[in-house]
């Protein structure tokens, strides 16, 4: 079967192989690794990042970048804390914060789509601005004391051993897969990233699709910020600081091209699993956080080289075709 | 006779199981222009890559001045005096003409003598019989001028064999003339020019020798005086193509589909009025820069007009975007298929279904991939698109097949008015005949077709009517059956009287 062969020799196939080896190595190195408790814990610690990575997959395939996601996470968490401090009930604060997230995305989209500025510049600016806003809201304090049911969302198992956020992640991953690979919208996201001019000449409403992607990115980031607040039970001005780099690293490692037009949700999910189990495995082996960061730095370089690997990998495994 | 400058002896090149070059032998002599012709896929590009060191031959040998050579890179080939230029010039747009010319000269001192550089650049350009300011950024130049820069770079490297791969495909008539002048100047200096072209008129005007390739094999090498156009064509395609440009009687029903009145866009085109009937093929002729594409872009809503009206099937039409145009039954097949026509990294089927993706939603709102595949296969069969499968990236197809995919993409929208922009530029003769057949069949089905073409034999063989544009204005409306290349050209260059 050529289709099967193609699948096994794709970048996703390679990631799967790496993941299996990593799991085998970790399982041999530590008896704890494969336990359900550890697997849940491994996800739990980074759940906000991996949720945002799903949305970032769309942004980068669309040929844009969103550097402001971590600041939106921080702003969402802090404005939730601020509303809580001002006496607004959590049940009312949650939708307000989500709306604020969508508004942040709308603000990014305005400059990128309407004005035509590069998203790299726009979201770099809003990364600073949104973070500043978050710090203004909570100043130097930590705000906590949220209702128990809210903290439970991030801390207590909901079904079996799985907390709400993990279940949400898998539901969102499935939704993202369907959206990207099985809908008109997903196809348009890919085509615009592959060639904006071709999409325009084909009657695709490029502005609308780009707006939707950027708004969704901030919306999901706001949701992730709330999950962070629930899991930690308190917020500070530096919530999720620097997360955007980890998120982008994961997405690029997953085989999404930084130039747009290429990538899959499967790739991102596999990359998430690789990064999480790598970190977890190193932690179990008592490697310090600094070494973990170093290894992830190497991973970032490798992930930027994905296009090179992809070509090399396919040349080795596929018979070269004639070029006339 | 002295030893040839460059000789190929029984050269073969295989990629896996495919033989891209099969036992090719021929020789190039100093001071000749040697044309290489053949359909797409005949092995011309592989031949160039083999000779310039990009792909070493799998077997056989390459000789320079009778000595066997084995290049491992294009730099090695360049040092031996062999260089190639391509249809799309490769210049650094932000560097000046002079910098571009001397970019690969490694034998210069480590400091840069700017004045000297520009003086030498100017001298090289002058040798080509062209005037060009060496201090201008290359990005500001026209395609033809960028090509001149590339050629100057090559002769600056004391090139002895210059390979030109379809250099004229994207040039206007006037620029082609100048390019031919350059090729002749190089010949006079003793350079061997290997000139690859699809345009037989050009081959006959320019070449001393003609080599034909087909399916990776060498078919013949003869002096130009011994070949005829018909003989060449049948050698290229391996079958007799007599009558391939035969005219078919017009099937126009007379029912008016499109009426354009006094259309204008400030500074671009003015006062464009014409009509298009169902089943009619109208060709829009003119020189490059006559603003024909701009009229098409206005009709398709990419760059809307400021003035004038458009009526489609008797109703006034307001077209502000491609979406508006598509809703009204218009389709526009652009000339630049790599930038505007096709998403090369995406599959054949994803490209074909793109303009009417909404129609492939199933009951649940998801894409019906089986139906996408079925439509792609239907077009592949109907248009004889050669592709390994509908799931392969469209960029892996040959130019002619990409062109067919682009047509399929737009036919998939079932347009009533089809505008095609240079539909056969840079594709081989076989694919060209098939594109013509497809357009005629469409006209037979009642589609109104506007063809923008700079290829006069094509215009005359396809058109029921010929519209001629010059400098943003419509200067002629000629009946296709009773016009001639000369009549069209006179109007296009502004030398003739306005026709009725």
SS (H, E, C) chain B: CCCCCEEEEEEEEEECCEEEEEEEEEEECCCCEEEEECCCCCCHHHHHHHHCCCCCCCEEEEEECCEEECCCCHHHHHHCCEEEECCCCCCCCCCEHHHHHCCCCCCCCCCCCHHHHHHHHHHHHHHCCCCCCCCCEHHHCCHHHHHHHHHHHHHHCCCCEEEEECCCCCCCHHHHHHHHHHHHHHHHCCCEEEEECCCHHHHHHHCCEEEEEECCEEEEEEEHHHCCHHHHHHHHHCCCCCCCCCCCCCCCCCCEEEEEEEEEECCCEEEEEEEEECCCEEEEECCCCCCHHHHHHHHCCCCCCCEEEEEECCEEECCCCHHHHHHCCEEEECCCHHHHHCCCCCEHHHHHHHHHHHHHECCCCCECHHHHHHHHHHHHHHHCCCCCCCCCEHHHCCHHHHHHHHHHHHHCCCCCEEEEECCCCCCCHHHHHHHHHHHHHHHHCCCEEEEECCCHHHHHHHCCEEEEEECCEEEEEEEHHHCCHHHHHHHHHCCCCCCC
Is A62 an interface residue toward B (CB < 8 Å)? no
Determine which of B50, B55, B343 to mutate to test the interface with A (most A C-beta atoms within 10 Å).
B343
Does the pLDDT at position B112 exceed 80? no
| pLDDT of the residue at B74 | 85
**Residue in chain A nearest B331 by alpha carbon:** A202
Q: Which long-range contacts link A213-216 to residues 24+ away (Cβ below 8 Å)?
A: A213/A58, A213/A59, A213/A62, A213/A64, A213/A189, A214/A59, A214/A64, A214/A66, A214/A105, A214/A108, A214/A109, A214/A112, A214/A113, A214/A119, A215/A102, A215/A105, A215/A106, A215/A109, A216/A55, A216/A58, A216/A105
Asked if B323 lies within 8 A of A178 by C-beta distance, the reply is no
Confidence of residue A311 (pLDDT cuts 50, 70, 90): low
Collect all residues with Cβ–Cβ distance below 8 Å to A36 and sequence separation of at least 6: A161
What is the C-alpha radius of gyration for chain B, rounded to an integer number of angstroms? 24
| Confidence check: pLDDT of A8 > 60 | no
β-partners of residue B69 are B62
Residue A324: the pLDDT is: 35
CA separation for the pair B393, B361 (Å, rounded): 22
Q: Cβ A203–B46 below 8 Å, yes or no?
A: no
B6-237 is classed CATH 3.30.1380.20: no
Tally the residues of chain B. Answer: 500
For residue A187, list chain B residues with Cβ-Cβ distance below 8 A.
350, 354, 357, 367
Q: Band of the pLDDT at A141, cuts 50, 70, 90?
A: confident
* Contact check, Cβ <8 Å, A202/B345: no
Q: Does the CB of A190 have a partner CB in chain B at under 8 Å?
A: yes
3-state secondary structure of A235: strand
Least confident of B206-220, B277-291, B302-316, B475-489: B475-489
The confidence band for A283, taking pLDDT boundaries of 50, 70 and 90, is confident
User: What is the mean predicted confidence (pLDDT) over B108-113?
Assistant: 74
Tell me if B358 and A202 make a contact (CB, 8 A cut-off).
no
Using an 8 Å CB-CB cutoff, list chain A residues near B342: 198
As a residue count, chain A comes to 324
Does the model's pTM come out above 0.90? no
Q: Does the pLDDT at position A43 exceed 80?
A: yes
Three-state DSSP state, A143: strand
Give the architecture (CATH level 2) of A7-317: Orthogonal Bundle (1.10)
Q: Is some CB atom of chain B closer than 8 A to the CB atom of A178? A: yes
Q: Tell me: pLDDT of A299 over 80.
A: no
E runs forming strands in chain A:
143-144, 157-159, 162-163, 234-235
Amino acid B56: pLDDT = 86
CATH 3.40.50.300: does it fit domain B256-493? yes
Q: Is A285 helix (H, G, I), strand (E, B) or coil?
A: coil
- HSE-CB at A139 with a 13 A cutoff on CA atoms is 2
Sheet of B33-37, strands arranged across: B82-85, B161-165, B192-196, B33-37, B209-214, B217-223
Burial class (CB in 10 A: 0-12, 13-18, 19+), B226: exposed
Q: Lowest-confidence range among B17-26, B260-269, B310-319?
A: B17-26
Give mean pLDDT, residues B14-32. 85
Chain A's closest residue to B332, CA to CA, is A201
pLDDT at B389: 87
Q: Which residue has the higher pLDDT, B151 or A174?
A: A174
Task: Indicate the pLDDT class of residue A11, thresholds 50, 70 and 90.
Answer: confident
Q: Average pLDDT of A182-200? A: 96
Interface touch B15/A322, C-beta < 8 Å: yes
Task: Tell me the residues of chain B between 126 and 185 that have a Cβ less than 8 Å away from chain A.
Answer: none
Ranges in chain B annotated CATH 3.40.50.300: 6-237, 256-493
Q: What pLDDT is stored for residue B41 in this prediction?
A: 65
Tokens 């295989």 sit at which residue? B14
What was the pLDDT predicted at A125? 98
Question: Among A122-126, A285-289, B266-270, B350-354, where is mean pLDDT lowest?
Answer: A285-289
In angstroms, what separates the C-alpha of B370 from chain A's closest C-alpha?
12
Question: Which residue would you say has higher pLDDT here, B251 or B91?
Answer: B91
Residue A307 banded pLDDT, cuts 50, 70, 90: low
Listed by start position, the domains of chain A span 7-317
Whether the pLDDT of residue B251 is over 80: the answer is no
Q: Which tens digit of pLDDT belongs to each residue from A76-92?
A: 999 999 999 999 999 99
| Amino acid B495: pLDDT | 60
Q: How would residue B486 be classed by pLDDT, with cut points 50, 70 and 90?
A: confident
**Residue B430's pLDDT band (boundaries 50, 70, 90)?**
confident
User: b/e map of A102-123 (b: 16 or more CB within 10 Å)?
Assistant: eebbebbbebbbeeeeebeebb
Q: Which residues of A touch B42 (CB under 8 A)?
A: 324
Does residue A321 carry a pLDDT above 80? no
Mean pLDDT value across residues B349-356: 95
Q: Would you say the C-alpha torsion A133, A137, A142, A146 has a positive or negative sign?
A: negative
Q: Is the pLDDT of residue A6 over 70?
A: no
Under a CB-based contact definition with an 8 Å cutoff, are residues A209 and A188 in contact? Answer: yes
Dihedral through CA B322, CA B326, CA B329, CA B330, nearest 10? 30
Lowest mean pLDDT among B114-118, B187-191, B353-357: B114-118
Residues near B106 by beta carbon (within 8 Å), at least 6 away in sequence: none
A194 interaction partners in chain B (CB closer than 8 Å): 343-346
Computed over every residue of chain B, the mean pLDDT equals 86
> Which of A3, A180, A185, A202 would best serve as a mutation to test chain B binding (most B beta carbons within 10 A)?
A202
Q: Which residues contact B421 (CB under 8 A, 6 or more apart)?
A: B292, B293, B296, B332, B333, B334, B335, B452
Rounded distance between C-alpha atoms, residue A114 and residue B280, angstroms: 41
B500, pLDDT greater than 70: no
């Amino acid at each position: 079967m050529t289709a099967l062969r193609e699948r096994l020799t794709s970048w996703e196939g390679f990631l799967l192989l790496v993941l299996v080896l990593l799991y085998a190595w970790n399982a041999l190195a530590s008896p704890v690794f494969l336990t359900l408790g550890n697997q849940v814990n491994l996800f739990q610690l980074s759940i906000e990042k991996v949720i945002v990575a799903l949305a970032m997959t769309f942004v980068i395939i669309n040929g844009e970048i969103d550097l402001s996601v971590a600041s939106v996470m921080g702003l969402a968490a802090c404005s939730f804390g601020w509303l809580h401090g001002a006496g607004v009930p959590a049940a009312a604060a949650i939708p307000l914060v989500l709306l604020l997230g969508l508004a942040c995305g709308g603000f990014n989209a305005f400059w990128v789509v309407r004005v035509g500025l590069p998203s790299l510049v726009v979201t770099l600016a809003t990364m600073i601005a949104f973070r500043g806003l978050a710090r203004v809201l909570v100043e130097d304090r930590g705000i906590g004391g949220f209702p128990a049911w809210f903290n439970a969302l991030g801390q207590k198992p909901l079904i079996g051993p799985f907390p709400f956020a993990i279940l949400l992640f898998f539901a969102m991953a499935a939704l993202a897969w369907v959206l990207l690979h099985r809908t008109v919208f997903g196809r348009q996201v890919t085509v615009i990233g592959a060639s904006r001019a071709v999409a325009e000449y084909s009657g695709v409403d490029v502005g609308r699709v780009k707006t939707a992607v950027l708004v969704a990115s901030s919306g999901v980031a706001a949701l992730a910020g709330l999950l962070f607040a629930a899991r930690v039970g308190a917020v500070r001005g530096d919530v999720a600081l620097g997360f955007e780099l980890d998120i982008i690293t994961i997405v690029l490692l997953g085989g999404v091209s930084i130039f747009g037009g290429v990538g899959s949700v499967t790739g991102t999910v596999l990359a998430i699993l690789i990064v999480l189990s790598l970190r977890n495995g190193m932690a179990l082996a008592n490697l310090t956080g600094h070494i973990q960061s170093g290894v992830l730095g190497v991973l970032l370089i490798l992930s930027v080289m994905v296009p090179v690997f992809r070509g090399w990998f396919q040349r080795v495994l596929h018979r070269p075709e004639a070029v006339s | 006779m002295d030893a040839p400058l460059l000789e190929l002896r029984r050269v073969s090149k295989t990629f896996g199981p495919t033989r891209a070059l099969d036992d090719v032998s021929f020789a190039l002599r100093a001071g000749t222009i040697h044309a290489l012709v053949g359909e797409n896929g005949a092995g011309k590009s592989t031949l160039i890559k083999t000779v310039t060191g990009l792909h070493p031959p799998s077997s056989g040998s390459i000789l320079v001045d009778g000595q066997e050579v084995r290049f491992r890179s294009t730099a090695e080939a360049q040092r031996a005096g062999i260089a190639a230029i391509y249809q799309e010039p490769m210049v650094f747009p932000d560097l000046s003409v002079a910098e571009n010319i001397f970019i690969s000269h490694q034998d210069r001192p480590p400091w840069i003598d700017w004045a000297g550089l520009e003086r030498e650049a100017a001298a090289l350009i002058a040798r080509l019989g062209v005037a060009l300011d060496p201090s201008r950024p290359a990005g500001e130049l026209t395609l033809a001028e960028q090509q001149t820069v590339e050629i100057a770079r090559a002769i600056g490297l004391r090139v002895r064999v210059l390979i030109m791969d379809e250099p004229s495909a994207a040039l206007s008539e006037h620029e082609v003339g100048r390019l031919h002048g350059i090729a002749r100047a190089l010949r006079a200096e003793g350079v061997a020019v290997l000139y690859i072209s699809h345009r037989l008129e050009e081959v006959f005007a320019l070449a001393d020798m003609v080599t034909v390739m087909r399916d990776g094999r060498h078919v013949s090498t003869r002096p130009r005086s011994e070949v005829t156009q018909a003989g060449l064509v049948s050698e290229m395609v391996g079958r007799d193509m007599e009558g391939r440009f035969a005219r078919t009687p017009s099937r126009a029903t007379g029912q008016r589909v499109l009426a354009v009145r006094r259309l204008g866009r400030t500074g671009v085109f003015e006062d464009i009025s014409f009509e298009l009937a169902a089943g009619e093929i109208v060709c829009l002729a003119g020189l490059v820069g006559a603003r024909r594409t701009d009229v098409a872009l206005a009709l398709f809503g990419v760059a809307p007009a400021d003035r004038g009206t458009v009526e489609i099937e008797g109703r006034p039409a307001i077209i502000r975007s491609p979406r508006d145009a598509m809703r009204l039954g218009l389709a526009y097949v652009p000339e630049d298929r790599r930038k505007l026509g096709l998403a090369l990294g995406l599959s054949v089927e994803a490209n074909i279904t793109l303009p009417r993706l909404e129609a492939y939603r199933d009951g649940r709102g998801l894409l019906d991939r089986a139906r996408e595949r079925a439509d792609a296969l239907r077009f592949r069969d109907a248009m004889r698109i050669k592709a390994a499968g509908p799931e392969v990236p469209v960029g892996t197809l040959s130019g002619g097949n990409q062109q067919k995919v682009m047509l399929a993409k737009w036919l998939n929208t079932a347009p009533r008015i089809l505008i095609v922009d240079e539909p056969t530029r840079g594709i081989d003769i076989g694919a060209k005949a098939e594109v013509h057949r497809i357009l005629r069949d469409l006209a037979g089905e009642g589609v109104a077709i506007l063809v923008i073409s700079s290829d006069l034999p094509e215009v005359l063989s396809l058109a029921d009517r010929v519209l001629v544009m010059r400098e943003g204005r419509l200067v002629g409306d000629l009946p296709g059956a009773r016009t001639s290349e000369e009549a069209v050209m006179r109007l296009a260059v502004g030398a003739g009287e306005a026709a009725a």
